[in-house]
Amino acid sequence: MNKALLLIDIQNDYFENGANPLTGSLQACENAAKVLKAFREQKLPVIHVRHLTTRADATFFLLGTRGAEIHSNVEPLAHELVIEKHFPNSFRDTGLLVHLKTLAIEELVICGMMTHMCVDATTRAAKDFGFGCTLIGNACATKALEINEQRMEAEAVHNSFLAALNYFYARVINTEEYLAELNHSLSITFQNQTQQIESLL
């Protein structure tokens, strides 16, 4: 099954001293970097998504600011596609869907920020477009929210959205589990190739 890594909005404004810092953003970014490294080593497609705000009252992800740039831990390589978006859903008014279809991608591995907003919107859209989705839970981050004068801490928000996406919209696992799966799959592929070569000798 053809797969691609989708890194959503891992941008400087979401980190310490940024305009909209999230809880656990650095740890999530470090985990995303591990998955990114594995995809690069196996020469699998990587797509970065960068949000640029178009709202007049916006306070972060402003065009031309350092805060809108992708974090250095997951900085795109020259040949890696960067999709710019203006809505939570990474497919809306972007070329993402066309690009994935061109590559015949069937599965998306998703990391990013914020869990309750752009990660959620993009994962649900991806499933509706027919992609299988694996969401790396500890490679995502979010923040505390309030409703009806009640505060929900970031961990509760994060886990609630992961729980809602799990099973139907995505398979939610952690970085270590996914990397182990990826290495196991690579090992099986190598063994099969070796057996095919030996059968020809």
**Rounded CA separation 143/155 (Å):** 8
H/E element, 100:
helix 96-102
pLDDT value at residue 184: 75
Q: Which tokens is 190 given?
A: 């190598």
Task: Look up the pTM and report it.
Answer: 0.91
**Rounded CA separation 102/95 (Å):** 11
What tens digit of pLDDT does each residue of 44-59 get?
999 999 999 988 889 9
Regions in the chain scoring below 70 on pLDDT? 1, 186-201
**Rounded CA separation 174/118 (Å):** 19
CATH node for 3-175: 3.40.50.850
Vertex 142: Cα angle to 84 and 44 (nearest 5): 50
**Rounded CA separation 25/140 (Å):** 7
pLDDT value at residue 190: 47
Q: Which tokens is 74 given?
A: 């997951």
Q: Which residue in the block uniquely carries the two structure tokens 């992708």?
A: 70
pLDDT value at residue 55: 86
**SS3 label, residue 50:** strand
